[in-house]
Structure 1
């Protein structure tokens, strides 16, 4: 049994490790040190770029729950991260060099993994895991584009924030569709003139996040214009854009609001809503401060803040099966940030599943499709959910988990219950599978 893994980042290393641990001979292809992406500089595998933090460790947090699940699935990276941890309060932060060196040492030392240092410009024959990340080389990106045709995405982009449904103040908003056309699918946050002007002033004066050096020449499509950039075009620019109130009547007043912020359902379960037209490059604390001025979002729980960066990722809801294989070619699996999982550990978790499922396929076994109430299962469920139309990368967050059967108002208690349910569910599932 043989397989090729392309990319020795976090996802690629996990995929190669999981395959090799299951008796599959792996050829791991890595273009460093012959060629570096604009973001990479260290020759070791699993290089951390933007931060040395792998986020929270505590079980009752989304990031912590994800890492606990990964440990149950035999993660290499979580183990090496703990071996190279540095003091960071409740977060798992690592010595970057030590972490990369540790992963590299483990990969090079595995008897079933052979590393080829070269840029891959053609998709190899046979069983393949593609884990080339959001900065895939131009030549290989073209190969993926040919494979996936028009459904492949590769551009500079800005994404809008996402909030949890249960954190929206339903006393201050109303459900409606413009002109009463269709179902009342949108949550509408109405503003009067004074509220709008205060919001506009806060928006245009808010501080933007700095771009990475490799994003300095950032060019964004007009349809993805950051809302703060649009707002600076004039006092009423966004009121005639994403905040236009035309076709909407506030049932509490019987009149059309001065401006309206609309929220659209983000997932099938309706636990997440995104702010329509609110692509942004504001710093995260600024997003929290300014967007909490929107009526109904005063206490909103932001499950993902808006980001603006170069990204290369698949339209996974239309391209990938839940086992991480390509719908049109079951010999090819994808893993990591190229699938639309945002974050270091999220990327690695995708590598774990791609590696496990490819190994199981080679053994004639059914794939692991993790329960939807686990963080890993929910992430995969989100990126393969065909009802997600305007797909953007997603990281781990409690909002993608199915709600509890009972409503628990205390967030800490609710998160603890969600995490415990996830761990119990994963353990039971793995036991059913004989793992």
Structure 2
């Protein structure tokens, strides 16, 4: 008999893969498994239930930002994106099809991005999309858990029972979005830092007095409190702006509001601080305030952010918010094929597994999809080489220190070191990227040979 509280999958479903959650990781996993010839049941709780951060019925909804970060190989996420692009990632196909100007970064129109993936999933004959909340983990049958960092209370309880330990968690924050027509160009101007990438960003300058007053406003403002039984733990890569301000009066001027490379065209001088806004949709009607994730109350956000020169009459299409992100202690809970050690028929994917970021979540879903396909076909699991960005990301989940495990963006520090002569940092990073992309094709050929699939 199945354990109490678990969903039992009947024997005639044994040749299917069940995927719980149709976010970035779940959709990517479903796509890869389906392309490998597997039948997939993809469960999505929207619109029956919504998390605190989600609003759209579309799949693969982007929440915090529309940026997929840097495109160059000097940044490991650029290498990861290129790997995914070369091996047929649905996530990267959607990103490239819906890209908007963002200087040296890759940013997308969020609604078009989600619509693209939703349409692809709906049209794939090997995928059955079921819009229903799953509250119990399957007792049998190959399953990918991609329920995301905002996993529901019921499913979180199941996961806690499965792992045998209390969840690790952190808080994540969402930046506000401003309507373009409400921005005052008597103060704001278009430019990218050091003129790299054209004039893709909008810039609002602050002098020293304006900056000091802004920081003090942040420190004095009313904030949304966490629930009493939850400890506030912020991920360093997505720190609320008021938390950064509390670390020191000039922290923001050296962080998201740093003015370097952005002289004000009206004065020719570098301001004391600059607030940047990045295009959020294809029509350039919406711009998000870069680095301004926050847990300020809505009235305080409107009051304080309108003190920024250029945003005096700002109309907010979305205000910032705070939500709990849940992840597991991957080195303790998972093997190197993303299977739960206590329940090998269940794989983890996406931010729930302990990766951080949109690209990393999709990459984890990609791996979970092909791993599950191999397991279903009783074939060896094709783990990527450690030299690749995919392998480096997987290595973090399987071999990081478990006593203080934290979510991680892909970075070159996760890659195996280069042997031989010493190199400058920039040259070393490019050499690591070249090594990664050279190691990718032989592995991908083995994957295709193992799964006997035709990838697109």
Name the TM-score class by shorter chain: 0.5 to 0.7
TM-score normalized with structure 2 length: 0.64
Task: Give 2:401's aligned residue.
Answer: 387
Shift of 1:386: 5.3
- Taking the aligned partners of 1:353 and 1:318, their CA distance within structure 2 comes to 19
Shift of 1:101: 0.3
Task: Give 1:72's aligned residue.
Answer: 86
Tell me if structure 1 keeps the 8 A contact 2:168–2:329.
yes
- Taking the aligned partners of 2:325 and 2:149, their CA distance within structure 1 comes to 5
Tell me if structure 2 keeps the 8 A contact 1:157–1:224.
no
Q: Per-residue CA shift, 1:111-169, capped at 9, x if unaligned?
A: 011111111111134111000111111111111111111153346599xxxxxxxxxxx
Task: Give 2:336's aligned residue.
Answer: 322
Tell me if structure 1 keeps the 8 A contact 2:52–2:323.
no
Which one of 47, 54, 57 corresponds to residue 40 of structure 1?
54
Task: Give 1:143's aligned residue.
Answer: 158
Shift of 1:420: 0.4
Tell me if structure 2 keeps the 8 A contact 1:34–1:118.
yes
Shift of 1:72: 3.0
Which one of 286, 290, 295 corresponds to residue 251 of structure 2?
286
- Taking the aligned partners of 2:120 and 2:156, their CA distance within structure 1 comes to 28
Tell me if structure 2 keeps the 8 A contact 1:62–1:396.
yes
Superposition pairs of residues 190-201 of structure 1, within 5 angstroms? none
Matched, 1:404 2:369: no
Task: Give 2:445's aligned residue.
Answer: 431
- The number of residue pairs the alignment matches comes to 322
- Taking the aligned partners of 1:400 and 1:287, their CA distance within structure 2 comes to 28
Which one of 72, 76, 94 corresponds to residue 62 of structure 1?
76
Q: Cα distance 1:209–1:111, how it changes in 2: closer, same or farther (>3 A)?
A: farther
- Taking the aligned partners of 1:134 and 1:361, their CA distance within structure 2 comes to 25
Name the SS of the counterpart of 1:102 in structure 2: helix
The runs of 5 or more residues in structure 1 that have no matched partner are 159-201, 227-273, 275-279, 291-306
Name the SS of the counterpart of 2:445 in structure 1: helix
Tell me if structure 1 keeps the 8 A contact 2:24–2:365.
yes
Tell me if structure 1 keeps the 8 A contact 2:332–2:402.
no
Q: Cα distance 1:40–1:427, how it changes in 2: closer, same or farther (>3 A)?
A: same
- Taking the aligned partners of 1:118 and 1:222, their CA distance within structure 2 comes to 28
Name the SS of the counterpart of 1:54 in structure 2: strand
- Taking the aligned partners of 1:344 and 1:96, their CA distance within structure 2 comes to 12
Task: Give 1:232's aligned residue.
Answer: none
Q: Per-residue CA shift, 1:3-39, capped at 9, x if unaligned?
A: 1100010000001111111111111100111111000
Shift of 1:106: 0.1
Tell me if structure 1 keeps the 8 A contact 2:26–2:365.
yes
Which one of 394, 402, 414 corresponds to residue 428 of structure 2?
414
